[in-house]
């Protein structure tokens, strides 16, 4: 589904990765290793060189906003620009179901200023899912959540994988890759290597 070859920025790479439909890959590694920069480069938020393609279509032949709808990036700290939560959502299809799945069924009517860090994190994920992306690039999506909320989000992510979406997740939670059935990779100094017990990066 997502093919990355020789992806390079001044701080990371060259990096190769192939992500299949319905596959999860988890990236861990020390702080400052370049994990967020890798996700941002794939999403085309930072300039990069190399080959990135979705189902064989090169990234440069897809307009950037459309690319980011198909290959959605959720940063570790989400941005909010309007006063009310509902003003950040444009699509209504499946929205109430998604909000319910993350335990925030009533949150659309809330003020952004009252949101807790964990509520922001879960709502940012729902925001990314509203365009039904084929690939999800998630930067530490459960770092601020209590265990029951982690469980809700992981269940939601497993539903996404079952619907043939691909998932590339940066996590510092050592149990998360196994719970998501994810292949483990480690980033160190801008380079990717296989995690313990895993083969070489595809």
Of 45 and 53, which has the nearer Cβ to ligand ATP?
45
Binding to ligand ATP by residue 32, rule CB under 6 A? yes
Report d(CA 78, CA 95) in Å as an integer: 18
* One of 36, 101, 130, 176 touching ligand ATP (CB under 6 A): 36
Residue recorded with tokens 């879960």: 122
Among candidates 154, 174, 173, 157, which has minimal Cα distance to 165? 157
Residue tagged 């980033």 (tokens): 187
Cβ closest to ligand ATP, residue 101 vs residue 171 = 171
Site for ligand ATP in 2-21 (CB under 6 A): 11
**Residue 128 corresponds to which tokens in the numbers above?**
């990314």
When asked if residue 48 is in the footprint of ligand ATP (CB under 6 A), the reply is no
Q: Interface with ligand ATP includes 34 (CB under 6 A)? A: yes
In this structure, what is the dihedral angle of CA atoms 81, 86, 89, 95, given to the nearest 10 degrees?
A: 150
Residue with tokens 């509902």: 86
Tell me how far, at minimum, the Cβ of 75 lies from ligand ATP, in Å: 10
**41 part of the interface to ligand ATP, by CB under 6 A:** no
Which residues would be at the binding site for ligand ATP (CB under 6 A)?
Answer: 11, 31-37
């Amino acid at each position: 589904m997502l093919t990355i070859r020789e992806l390079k920025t001044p701080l990371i790479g060259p990096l190769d990765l192939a992500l299949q439909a319905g596959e999860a890959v988890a990236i861990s590694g020390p702080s400052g290793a370049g994990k967020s920069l890798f996700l941002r480069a794939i999403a085309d938020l930072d300039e990069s060189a190399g080959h990135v393609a979705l189902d064989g279509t090169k990234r440069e032949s897809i307009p950037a906003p459309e690319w980011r709808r198909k290959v959605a990036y959720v940063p570790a700290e989400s941005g909010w620009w309007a006063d009310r939560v509902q003003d950040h959502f444009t699509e209504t299809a499946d929205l109430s179901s998604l909000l319910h799945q993350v335990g925030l069924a009533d949150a659309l009517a809330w003020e952004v200023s009252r949101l807790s860090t964990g509520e922001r994190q879960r709502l940012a994920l729902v925001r990314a899912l509203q365009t039904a992306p084929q690939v999800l690039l998630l930067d530490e999506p459960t770092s601020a959540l209590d265990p029951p909320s982690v469980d809700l989000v992981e269940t939601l992510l497993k539903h996404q994988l079952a619907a043939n979406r691909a998932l590339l997740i940066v996590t510092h939670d050592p149990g998360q890759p196994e719970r998501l059935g994810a292949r483990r990779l480690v980033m160190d100094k801008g380079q990717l290597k296989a995690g313990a017990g895993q083969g070489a990066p595809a």
